[in-house]
Amino acid sequence: MSSVPERSEVDEEYTWDLESIYATDDDWESAYEAVAERVDDLETYEGRVTDDAETLLAVLELRDEIMREVSTVAAYARMRRDEDTTNQEYQALTARSQSLASNAQSAASFIDPEIQELTREEFESMVEAEPDLETYDHYVDDVLRMKPHTRSAEVEALLADLGEVMGATGEVYTMLSNADMEFPTVEDPEGEAVEITQSNFTNLLKRPDREFRQRVYEGYFDEWESVRNAVAASYKNSVKADVKTARARNYDTAREAALDGPNVPVEVYDTLVDTVHDNLDKLHHHAELKERALGVDDLQMWDLYMPLTGDEGPDLEYDQATEYVVDALAPLGEEYQSRVEEGLDSQWVDVYENEGKQSGAYSGGTYDTQPFILLNYQRDISSMYTLAHELGHSMHSELTKDEQPFIYSNYEIFVAEVASTVNEALLTNHLLETVDDPEFRKHVLNEFLERVRSTLYRQTLFAEFEHETHRLEEAGEPLTADRLDEVYRGLKEDYYEPAVIDDRIATEWMRIPHFYRAFYVYQYSTGISAALAIVDDVLERGQPAAEDYLEFLRRGSREYPLELLRIAGVDMSSSEPIDRALETYGQRLEEFESLLE
């Protein structure tokens, strides 16, 4: 039987080094208690934040020190939990750290409303009196910008206190989908029992045997059907929380509230959706090519993840994948490349799936730690791309920490997804230029096409779903499971017109964890568009373009996202980068079609 190993069975070389944060859980406990005691120190500044320049600097520096420590405490607990989401001890540590973070946010919630009593001119006078305040210039600009949506100190404290509760639906969903749900075991063509998991589901849908794929698909979605009402209730209440929070902050819609945080106009969202809709013919062409390549009369949803090559693709061991990734990053310079290599040798990455491990992948860590990458490596080309993706995030964090103070280290997701996808695009270019094996090259080309399909198109579909579900809630319409199915099915029918849209795929919204972080996913689509434009520039202009890009990474969040991307030569206020990305996708589709002929 093909089974997932226990955590203890995974070679330590392929696990992340969380002991570099705290050597023992007792050390974590000491750090937790120490910072919990410091949180109360913030209260001594309430009501006098802007008394003078020295006081303003003191409270901002104290808050930053506390938040740095809280973030490290919380990151350790969460990553320990993610090693095995069934571990009750680390569930408890995570819950405690989340409460601590909520308490810290609540304790500091008076700061922004008091700063908003200043004018810009008054702040500039304070900078003259205390030059170290210059560090906070962009931060204060952002705080003043948000004044119409910031409530009184009392209300801000209440909203901060409620933050943990308002986000509870996402935590419930995480525990349900990763710890409690038990997916079936199916028999493969060789008669071997294969356990379906959250991490291997899409990989199993790349198996050549069509009947096996159908069994996997149906078994997986039938398990979701068993928790249908619970997930619908969870998502409905997550949407309600978004809408009520937006209204509490004087926004007309939850989408406007979400995009205003990073100062991204809603027109950017609409431009993305409109541009993608204008190019759905390319996605339809991809689906038709897949139908031809697989030799089937109708493209079913269990066929969708199958490569155009018609098979699973070559096995790719992790060590070989890391070599390809490091080599691919050469256009960004020797320093960037060697730093990635050093990180891979320093246990940045938790490589393989184990029982209870959090599904998917992410880049974590904090301002005071090394990066940490959670993978569920499946020994295939797709997993190699995921590694490249998460290393992009990690290097963004590293370069930001080199140049920026803590206040600007948490860059917005809008720009974060650029860094990750630049690495993917560089990997594609490197492999197509250097690997001679024609079958391997076909799989790389297919991977590029699938990445655009699953990132630019799929995430825009998700973005439309989020927009519509929040619009329905704002209009007072009930978000029942049936209504959510109806919305999702309609979008699937638009995007995948040549394929068969069945009842199970209408429920796919249930398996998307990102929906519990509303209006997040569209940034994958804008990110890949910007990234492909940047890589084109780097490959064409060489070092000057690479240096522009690295400067963009080093800036962290010291400027607003659209301004930061202009440093790298990309204007996301227009459709031009999206059009360029879709044009490249269309060209690569034609290239692959010629291979089929």
In terms of DSSP bridges, do strands 362-364 and 372-377 run parallel, antiparallel, or are they unpaired?
antiparallel
Contact status, residue 530 vs residue 577, Cβ threshold 8 Å: yes
Query: Cα(483)–Cα(489) distance, rounded to whole angstroms?
Result: 10
Query: Cα(143)–Cα(159) distance, rounded to whole angstroms?
Result: 17
* Residues contacting 170, CB < 8 A, separation 6+: 238, 513, 516, 517
Closest residue by Cα to residue 339 from 382, 383, 384, 401: 401
Residue 195's Cβ-side half-sphere holds a number of Cα atoms within 13 Å equal to 13
* Residues contacting 307, CB < 8 A, separation 6+: 206, 313, 443, 446, 450
Query: Cα(108)–Cα(41) distance, rounded to whole angstroms?
Result: 10
Contact status, residue 390 vs residue 373, Cβ threshold 8 Å: yes
CA atoms 412, 400, 367, 154: torsion sign: negative
Centroid of chain to Cα 150: 27
Contact status, residue 434 vs residue 456, Cβ threshold 8 Å: no
Q: 185 forms bridges with which residues in the sheet? A: 195
Query: Cα(397)–Cα(368) distance, rounded to whole angstroms?
Result: 11
Compute the residue count for the chain. Answer: 597
Contact status, residue 93 vs residue 81, Cβ threshold 8 Å: yes
Query: Cα(334)–Cα(523) distance, rounded to whole angstroms?
Result: 29
Radius of gyration of the chain (CA): 24
Write the single-letter amino acid at 293.
A
Write the single-letter amino acid at 231.
V
Tokens of 503: 């009842």
Centroid of chain to Cα 168: 19
Query: Cα(547)–Cα(544) distance, rounded to whole angstroms?
Result: 5
Known catalytic residue at 335: no
Tokens of 43: 């209260």
Closest residue by Cα to residue 454 from 400, 496, 499, 404: 496
Options 390, 417, 424, 508, the catalytic residue: 390
CA atoms 198, 203, 206, 209: torsion sign: negative
Closest residue by Cα to residue 507 from 217, 108, 284: 217
Starting at the earlier edge strand, list the strands of the sheet with 372-377: 349-352, 372-377, 362-364
Contact status, residue 294 vs residue 206, Cβ threshold 8 Å: no
- 448: alpha, beta or left, given left = phi > 0 and alpha = psi -120 to 50? alpha
Q: How many CB atoms lie within 10 A of CB 348?
A: 22
End-to-end CA distance of the chain: 39
Catalytic residue positions?
390
